[in-house]
Chain A
Amino acid sequence: MSAIDTEVIANAKIEHAEHEHNPHLAHHFSEPEQQISAAKLGMWAFLAQEVLFFGGLFVALMVFRTWYPDMYRAASSQLNVPFGAINTMVLICSSLTMALAVRATQLNRNRQAFWLMAATVLLAGVFLVIKYFEYSHKFHEGQLPGHFYTFKEIPFDNAHMFFGIYFCMTGLHGLHVLIGMIVIGWMMVRAWRNEFSSQYYTPVECTGLYWHLVDLIWIFLFPLLYLVK
């Protein structure tokens, strides 16, 4: 047998021994670091496609904003800026609590992570409640997309387009908030069961990345929809 053959077989034996000790290491990875960095790369690739997904809506927004600036301004002034600003602060705080939750799992503090994630979910709930108030006001006023638009006080025929885009963007974003709440809820269950540790916190970290993206999208949504002059 050549020297390389021995090295290959020796490596295989080490790999096998390691696998026996590490329950989280999947069979097709050779060490934890590889698996963790693969998980994160995969998550970032997923976030990349989310950027393009939402990005399309931003493009539509900007196209119509450049074509109909006056209509846009008039319609946007109907939005509730204080609610939007509070929601921005709420999401920023939820990003903080989520980031701290990830940090807690890095430090083997499952209970702390649990409560921080609970705070995140609570703040996300506040966000959705405020959105509910905004939406129900719009339903009441007839500021709705397309066929359903009945609001009379904006002096432009095509004002329904603003509200159409508004509902699409905030609706899709709200859906992502809801999904985030569910996923974080699941991470909470796992944290309660002490499943995370400094050697294994990738699911929480990936959840955190998703949540921060939801925050990032709102960071751009808020000024572009609410703060137009």
Chain B
Amino acid sequence: MTVTTFDPMHVPTEAQSSPNFLESAHGIKSWIFTLDHKRIGIMYLWSILLSFLFGGIAALLVRLELLTPQKTIMTADQYNQMFTLHGGIMVFLFIIPSIPASLGNFVLPIMLGAKDVAFPRLNLLSYYFWLTGAALILTAICTGGIDTGWTFYTPYSTRTATSVIWMGLGVFVLGFSSIFTGLNFITTIHKLRAPGMSWFRMPLFLWSIYATALIQILATPVLAITLLLLVVERAFGLGIFDPKLGGDPVLFQHFFWFYSHPAVYIMILPGMAIVSELVATFSRRPIFAYKSVAYSSVALAVLGFLVWGHHMFVAGTSEFSTVLFSALTFLVAIPSGVKLFNWLATLYKGSISFESPMLYALAFIFLFTIGGLTGIFLGTLSIDVHLHDTYFVVAHFHYVMMGGTIFAFVGGLHYWWPKMFGRMYNELAAKIAFAFVFVGFNVTFFTQFILGSRGMPRRYYNYPPQFQTLHIISTVGSWIIATGFIMMAIYFLRSLRHGKKAPDNPWGGLTLEWHTHSPPITENFHNTPIITHGAYDYEHPDAKAFILQTQGKI
């Protein structure tokens, strides 16, 4: 079908008989040797969701321990391992790959009008790297665990008897999964856009994924060398990070955060990518000031490299550098603000509907605003002196990483689930689960802003009894979140067998993936689309008819 003329009457006759990508081949070999970006995306999806489960269980156990000021269910050493596991699994196995590798892999080529990514074999290799990294991390867990925190600060990480080397190697390998995914996406967006799709006709999802890919390529190798040096330091006593040998532990922090700050933009940019799509589709409007939103993604990627020192304000860096980094940290808030205001302007006088994906997008806007603003508090030197390493920081980054990225990821999962699996999930169950997750999230983490500002340090096993009430509230919140996610797992899994068959375009979107079948055929399109207008052209005279026809309502 021609995607540009919105001609609802023209559907090629061969369309009905081609099998979709799930049916086109069967058996385990057709999955583990697949070169189809859609299948690779789905394999990633199950892998990262499994990681989320394990990281989540670790979180629940951490919060259980914190129910009482002294020992509750584990020793102090076990506690250190538990929060390290939670952070390490969530950051490296789950959140960094999450949106790009699963939803990105699935949706990106289709949104571009392409048949696949530029390097399908590299794509499969990226997934194998992920599996290898996961196996190495599993080895670390089984050979003594790790108790350094996910940040591996020296000199503790060079001296602790736990399995830092296996963990370091695991994350090193995972880094290459991330790098190759970024490399693939950059090349695909540059070289495989459909005829007529200029840069400014691309959906904003692709702009943000592109910016993410830039960061993946530029920042991740520095993490790789950092971990390599850490491993060498442990094995040979290299001495560059160990003060006893003349080294500098703060240098490790420079190396680590040069990656890990841009990494948080690897986490949030794809989330923002999804929110742009959801806000456009569910308010039936093009995103307000498209170009600013596009440019703000790239600006965020670039500026994100200039602020890493704000993690080290009290670490012993020079006063000059702290002032420099603080000023730049304020600057990096601007592109985020641009996006938030543009989304709000899109919603204003839009034709808004509140299906479950949209609920997550709206929640993102609210929660990310809180998370982002509290980041500014932390970027202010005089305040950070008091708030560094307290629960305020923990609350801040959970608001942006979970209230931001995870909510957006879940919203995107709901949005594209019908496209990926050809089934609708139960919308009422989805709304109820959303309520649990949203309420539970705020109960868990808003409490932690209060805890932190009153002085509760992070990563502490014991605490003074005056903090107990707030800790109990936060733990109960974690159970509410868990309930919501369990419900989600149930209705999603149910939908695979029992869900209503999904139409091509259940939500009424206009981007190219809604011009294909649900699920799509292996080549994505029967004919290469030719693009003649922008991504959100709801004003186009044929747009309404297109939506009605593809939503299955005619």
- Alpha-carbon separation in the docked complex, A158 to B184 (Å): 43
Segment at the B interface, from A30-38, A76-84, A187-195, A211-219: A30-38
Among B116, B117, B232, the residue within 8 A (CB) of A168 is B232
Do residues A45 and B187 form an inter-chain contact, with CB atoms below 8 A? Answer: yes
Do residues B527 and A160 form an inter-chain contact, with CB atoms below 8 A? Answer: no
- Alpha-carbon separation in the docked complex, A11 to B195 (Å): 11
CB distance from A44 to the nearest CB of B (A): 9
A57 at the interface (CB under 8 A from B): yes
Q: Interface code B515-547, partner A: CB below 8 Å = 1, 0 otherwise?
A: 000000001000111100000000000000000
Q: Interface code B500-527, partner A: CB below 8 Å = 1, 0 otherwise?
A: 0000000000000000000000010001
Among B114, B191, B229, the residue within 8 A (CB) of A41 is B191
Segment at the B interface, from A85-93, A95-103, A144-152: A144-152
A42 at the interface (CB under 8 A from B): yes
Among B10, B187, B222, B232, the residue within 8 A (CB) of A56 is B222
CB distance from A26 to the nearest CB of B (A): 8
Do residues B221 and A53 form an inter-chain contact, with CB atoms below 8 A? Answer: yes
Do residues A45 and B239 form an inter-chain contact, with CB atoms below 8 A? Answer: no
- Alpha-carbon separation in the docked complex, A157 to B122 (Å): 47
Which residues of A lie under 8 Å from residue B119 when comparing CB positions?
38, 42
CB distance from B447 to the nearest CB of A (A): 39
A5 at the interface (CB under 8 A from B): yes
Q: Interface code A174-216, partner B: CB below 8 Å = 1, 0 otherwise?
A: 0000000000000000000000000000000000000000000
Q: Interface code A150-165, partner B: CB below 8 Å = 1, 0 otherwise?
A: 0000000110110011
Among B109, B237, B254, the residue within 8 A (CB) of A147 is B237
Which residues of B lie under 8 Å from residue A4 when comparing CB positions?
2, 4-5, 530
Do residues A12 and B120 form an inter-chain contact, with CB atoms below 8 A? Answer: no
- Alpha-carbon separation in the docked complex, A12 to B527 (Å): 7
Q: Contact size class for A? A: 35 or more
Which residues of A lie under 8 Å from residue B2 when comparing CB positions?
2, 4-5, 8
B281 at the interface (CB under 8 A from A): no
Q: Interface code B1-17, partner A: CB below 8 Å = 1, 0 otherwise?
A: 01011010010000000
- Alpha-carbon separation in the docked complex, A74 to B132 (Å): 43
Do residues A157 and B246 form an inter-chain contact, with CB atoms below 8 A? Answer: yes
Among A41, A55, A63, A145, the residue within 8 A (CB) of B236 is A145
B183 at the interface (CB under 8 A from A): yes
A132 at the interface (CB under 8 A from B): no
A37-B191, A56-B255, A161-B247 known; A28-B236 Cβ under 8 A: no
B28 at the interface (CB under 8 A from A): no
CB distance from A212 to the nearest CB of B (A): 18
A9 at the interface (CB under 8 A from B): yes
Do residues B229 and A60 form an inter-chain contact, with CB atoms below 8 A? Answer: yes
Which residues of A lie under 8 Å from residue B528 when comparing CB positions?
8, 11-12, 15, 30
Among B237, B246, B530, the residue within 8 A (CB) of A145 is B237
B349 at the interface (CB under 8 A from A): no
Q: Is the interface of B mostly helix, strand, loop or mixed?
A: helix
Do residues B222 and A45 form an inter-chain contact, with CB atoms below 8 A? Answer: no
Which residues of A lie under 8 Å from residue B217 when comparing CB positions?
45, 48-49
A2-B5, A9-B527 known; A146-B183 Cβ under 8 A: no
Which residues of A lie under 8 Å from residue B219 when comparing CB positions?
52
Closest residue on chain A to residue B109 by CB atoms: A28
B251 at the interface (CB under 8 A from A): yes
B226 at the interface (CB under 8 A from A): yes
Do residues A28 and B115 form an inter-chain contact, with CB atoms below 8 A? Answer: yes
Which residues of B lie under 8 Å from residue A37 when comparing CB positions?
191
Do residues A49 and B240 form an inter-chain contact, with CB atoms below 8 A? Answer: no
Among A42, A52, A145, A148, the residue within 8 A (CB) of B187 is A42
B220 at the interface (CB under 8 A from A): yes
Q: Interface code B246-264, partner A: CB below 8 Å = 1, 0 otherwise?
A: 1110010011001000000
Which residues of A lie under 8 Å from residue B239 when comparing CB positions?
145-146, 158, 160-161, 164
Which residues of B lie under 8 Å from residue A56 when comparing CB positions?
221-222, 225-226, 229, 255, 258
Most chain A beta carbons < 10 A, residue from B217, B222, B236, B530: B236
A139 at the interface (CB under 8 A from B): no
Which residues of B lie under 8 Å from residue A27 when comparing CB positions?
115-116, 523
- Alpha-carbon separation in the docked complex, A60 to B530 (Å): 50
CB distance from A166 to the nearest CB of B (A): 11
B192 at the interface (CB under 8 A from A): yes
- Alpha-carbon separation in the docked complex, A21 to B142 (Å): 54
Which residues of A lie under 8 Å from residue B237 when comparing CB positions?
145-148
List 17 A-B residue pairs with CB atoms under 8 Å apart, sorted by A's residue number.
A5-B7, A11-B527, A11-B528, A12-B528, A28-B116, A38-B192, A45-B186, A48-B217, A49-B179, A50-B221, A52-B219, A52-B221, A56-B221, A60-B255, A157-B246, A161-B245, A164-B238
Q: Which 8 A-B pairs have the closest CB atoms?
A: A146-B237, A158-B246, A56-B225, A53-B221, A28-B115, A147-B237, A52-B221, A28-B116
